[in-house]
Amino acid sequence: MHAVTPETTALVDMVLDYAHRRILGEQSPLDKPMTPSELRRLASGSISETGIGGRRALALFENVLAPACITTDHPRYLSFIPSAPTKAATAFDLIVSATAVYGGSWMEGSGAVFAENEVLDWLGREFGLPEGSGGVFVQGGTIGNLSALVAARDHRARALAAAGRPRPARWIIVGSAEAHSSIAAAARVMDVDVVAVPVGDSGMLTGEQVRPVLEQHGEAVIAVVATGGSTNFGIVDDIASIAALKSAHDFWLHVDGAYGLAAALDPASRHRFAGVEAADSLIVDPHKWLFTPFDACALLYRDPEIGRLAHTQHAEYLDALTGASDWNPSDFSVQLTRRARGLPLWFSLATFGAEAYRAAIGASIDLAHAIAADIAERPYLRLVRDPQLSVVVFEREGWEPVDYAAWSAGLLEEQRAFVVPSSHAGRTNARFAIVNPLTTLDDLTGILDSMA
């Protein structure tokens, strides 16, 4: 299996040929899921004592398994938050695997760690964090938020211990009722409580809403989480007014910008993120709106030493790493073993430059506003809220949940688009999440026409 033989050479050539065709295909199919019974009928029996050979295994993947997976970087994949990696980033992801880079320590992967840190430094500057900020690329927003909040709790616990004050009976995380589900998930893992602050019609969490929670719970609050672009509506909390509370209250400010914080790179949208420069930690997911393959989340700390204190693992076999002052990425999150998942972004960003990224992000925002204006002019549709970023939510007048479900299933069955129903405040709606620069206004208006 490991030797270079005619068989393994042919296998590698086959795989690279498939990857080449898939990456450079003019239009990859949207595809759709199969039922378990269909997959059992078509794909069962691939694992055996003797193997089926690389040619048959690849054919099984290409002709059966891959078509049963929806293509998340398709221009008409508009559900959840899509992926839209550049060709350069996707291609370089192959190199990350081919070079067997371990990205957990400086000793084993200093070149990769240096390149990743170049990107993290750039992001830190873009978001206004001070010199010396830094962090790590982790799997995704859930791990990024969890790691940041663990560091926040550790920091609060150390401060209380240093002051000779007891820990509270229960730790508390404060966030918007519209915060991403990963915040509640992190709280469950950490066994802490969440105060979900109700927000008004704007959907934005503000300092005025946060202040009484801080006054009530005091030192039990380990962090206030501000959302930099909610998944459901793309709403950015009033980060500046929340950050302003730090002058009177001692709390850790975490900005969950998994989807939306990339928009701060667009000069026309930067104002929406005022106050992010005061964050103690933040995340942004390159596999969403920074055009990188799954999976990658950039986690940044204002003071990385706080993250290191919270997360460094100690064991005899790790003494060679933890005994040095090197920058070991695994010291900054809950993950020890890690892929150098920031390298595809580094390569693409180094190749095309930041200006190309700013333009691509801005184009998605412009498209969202254009289709929102189109929706507002259609008598059978209702725009739920004017978009801030690139998420557009709308309703079809007179439709019930079953109508949305049938319409969505029909679009996918016909391979026209992937748009699943969503909901807000008990009302079913439809939603476009636009991050792919190849998505066109015609793509979107065609989908709206199908609702007439």
Structural Rg of the chain based on CA atoms: 23
Q: What is the mean pLDDT of residues 76-93?
A: 95
**CATH architecture classification, 354-449:** Alpha-Beta Complex (3.90)
Q: What is the mean pLDDT of residues 344-354?
A: 98
> Is the alpha carbon torsion for 375, 381, 386, 390 positive or negative?
negative
181 pLDDT above the threshold of 90: yes
- Enumerate the domain spans of the chain: 6-30+33-69, 94-352, 354-449
320 pLDDT above the threshold of 70: no
Summarize pLDDT for 234-264 with one digit per residue, the tens: 999 999 999 999 999 999 999 999 999 999 9
CB atoms within 10 A of CB 408: 17
What pLDDT does 326 receive? 84
Cα 129 to Cα 117, 132, 381: the distances in Å are 14, 8, 42
Eight-state DSSP code of residue 64: I
CB atoms within 10 A of CB 39: 14
Contact 115, 128 (CB under 8 A): no
| Token output for 296 | 């990658």
The number of angstroms, rounded, from the C-alpha of 326 to the middle of its chain's C-alpha atoms is: 28
* CATH code matching the domain that covers 94-352, chosen among 3.30.565.10, 1.20.1250.20, 3.40.50.1010, 3.40.640.10: 3.40.640.10
| Token output for 241 | 């007014």
Eight-state DSSP code of residue 130: P
Query: What distance in Å separates the CA atoms of residue 116 and residue 120, rounded to the nearest whole number?
Result: 6
| Token output for 85 | 């990696």
Summarize pLDDT for 361-402 with one digit per residue, the tens: 999 999 999 999 999 999 999 999 999 999 999 999 999 999
Contact 105, 330 (CB under 8 A): yes
What pLDDT does 153 receive? 97
Query: What distance in Å separates the CA atoms of residue 248 and residue 86, rounded to the nearest whole number?
Result: 44
Summarize pLDDT for 37-77 with one digit per residue, the tens: 999 999 999 999 999 999 999 999 999 999 999 999 999 99
Cα 103 to Cα 109, 114, 451: the distances in Å are 6, 10, 48
Residue 394 phi, psi dihedral angles, 5° rounding: -150, 160
Burial code (b: 16+ CB inside 10 Å, e: under 16) for 26-35 equals eeeebbbebe
Q: What is the mean pLDDT of residues 126-149?
A: 97
- Amino acid in the structure at residue 425: A
Cα 415 to Cα 25, 62, 164, 286, 404: the distances in Å are 17, 18, 63, 27, 17
1 pLDDT above the threshold of 70: yes
- pTM, rounded to two decimals: 0.94
200 band by pLDDT with thresholds 50, 70 and 90: confident
Summarize pLDDT for 12-23 with one digit per residue, the tens: 999 999 999 999
Contact 288, 256 (CB under 8 A): no
Contact 104, 336 (CB under 8 A): yes
Instruction: Name which of 124, 76, 435 is nearest 291 in CA terms.
Output: 435
What pLDDT does 171 receive? 97
Residues of the chain with pLDDT > 70: what percent? 98
CB atoms within 10 A of CB 216: 11
Strands (DSSP E) contained in 118-228 are 134-138, 172-176, 193-197, 221-227
- Amino acid in the structure at residue 215: E
What pLDDT does 341 receive? 95
336 band by pLDDT with thresholds 50, 70 and 90: confident
| Token output for 343 | 């390298």
Strands (DSSP E) contained in 24-158 are 134-138
Indicate the SS3 state at residue 227. strand
Contact 418, 64 (CB under 8 A): no
- Amino acid in the structure at residue 256: D
